[in-house]
Amino acid sequence: MSLDQPKTVDEEAIIRMAERVETAQRYAVPIRKLTEDYPDLTIADAYRVQTALRRNLEKKGERVIGWKAGLTSKPKMAQMGVSTPGVGFLTDAMERPANSKITVSDMIHPRVEAEIAFVTNKELSGKVTREDVLAATDYVQPALEVIDSRFTGFKFDLESVLADNSSSARYVPGGRMIRPDALDLRTVGVVLEHNGEIAQIGAGAEVLGHPAEAIAMLVGVLDDMGEVLPAGSFVMAGAITAAVAVKPGDSITARFYEMGSITVTFT
């Protein structure tokens, strides 16, 4: 994806949009899609809004610990009606431990996804390949992501969702930490259970053919934004299956082949 598109809005509008998204996140109140008020918004503009949001949260003390790729599997693209992947940032404030109770009242309409996460031990920058990503990976491990679009009805277009930090809300690392060459990540199966019933089934190959491809895509988007992926980053490759909506009282368990499982409950 190239971000050398025209900027259609000035810096003031970018800051206004970032504040709108941040307020919706903070108070769990949905807003209309940004493109309803800024119909010419480009992908490049959307990432400018995401960057402004990241800077605002950093000023308030949140620490960026990694990134996520999103909309990287066909089941997710079909569920959301968007056909291009994107990226979002993750901060320490979004992390929750495995086996914890996650509060729902501070989110609008949370949904849960099962993902494979990469932890890097070398900086990745520029245009990189799947092999470069695997060579810079210390270990891989399962993760759950809780997404929460700030847009009414969980309906958006690519520009709006990228500006909304790709719906990032909470993430839960868990399961086993495994060397990336110890498993074929394409054939890692996952069973996502919702209140003890099987809700979704998938395998790593759903994610752009191989989850490491999603990380390579992400590093390319960071490069377009003038950023690198530092060593020690926690990076999620994107949902393997469609996302599952949750409400207070629900439990979710994701079971990964050879990589262990993660359970969380919602309250």
Which residues make up the interface to ligand OOG (CB under 6 A)? 68, 70-72, 76, 80, 113, 145, 147, 149, 161, 166-167, 238-239
By beta-carbon proximity to ligand OOG, the closer residue of 214 and 229 is 214
- HEC sequence for the chain: CCCCCCCCCCHHHHHHHHHHHHHHHHHCCCECCHHHHCCCCCHHHHHHHHHHHHHHHHHCCCCEEEEEEECCEHHHHHHHCCCCCEEEEEEHHHECCCCCEECCCCCCCCEEEEEEEEEECCCECCCCCHHHHHHCEEEEEEEEEEECCCEHHHCCCHHHHHHCHHHEEEEEECCCCECHHHCCHHHCEEEEEECCEEEEEEEHHHECCCHHHHHHHHHHHHHHCCCCECCCCEEECCCCCCCEECCCCCEEEEEECCCEEEEEEEC
> Which is nearer to ligand OOG, 152 or 196 (by Cβ)?
152
Provide the minimum distance between the beta carbon of 192 and ligand OOG in the complex, in angstroms, as a whole number. Answer: 13
Shortest Å, Cβ 133 to ligand OOG? 17
In the complex with ligand OOG, the residue whose CB is nearer, 142 or 179, is: 142
Whole-number Å distance between alpha carbons of 96 and 75: 25
CB of 202 to ligand OOG, least distance (A): 12
By beta-carbon proximity to ligand OOG, the closer residue of 102 and 123 is: 102
Q: Indicate the residue among 51 and 160 with the shorter CB distance to ligand OOG.
A: 160
Closer Cβ to ligand OOG, 91 or 167, answer by number:
167
Closer of 117 and 128 to ligand OOG (Cβ): 117
Q: How far is the CB of 258 from ligand OOG (least distance, A)?
A: 21
What is the nearest approach in angstroms of ligand OOG to the Cβ of residue 123?
24
- In angstroms, the CA 207 to CA 211 distance is 5
Q: Which bin fits 211, alpha (ψ -120 to 50), beta or left (φ > 0)?
A: alpha
Q: Which two tokens stand for residue 53?
A: 């949001």
Nearer to ligand OOG by C-beta: 85 or 180? 85
Nearest-approach distance from CB 36 to ligand OOG, in angstroms: 17
Beta strand 234-236 pairing with 64-70? parallel
Output the smallest distance, CB 87 to ligand OOG, in A: 10
Q: How far is the CB of 34 from ligand OOG (least distance, A)?
A: 14
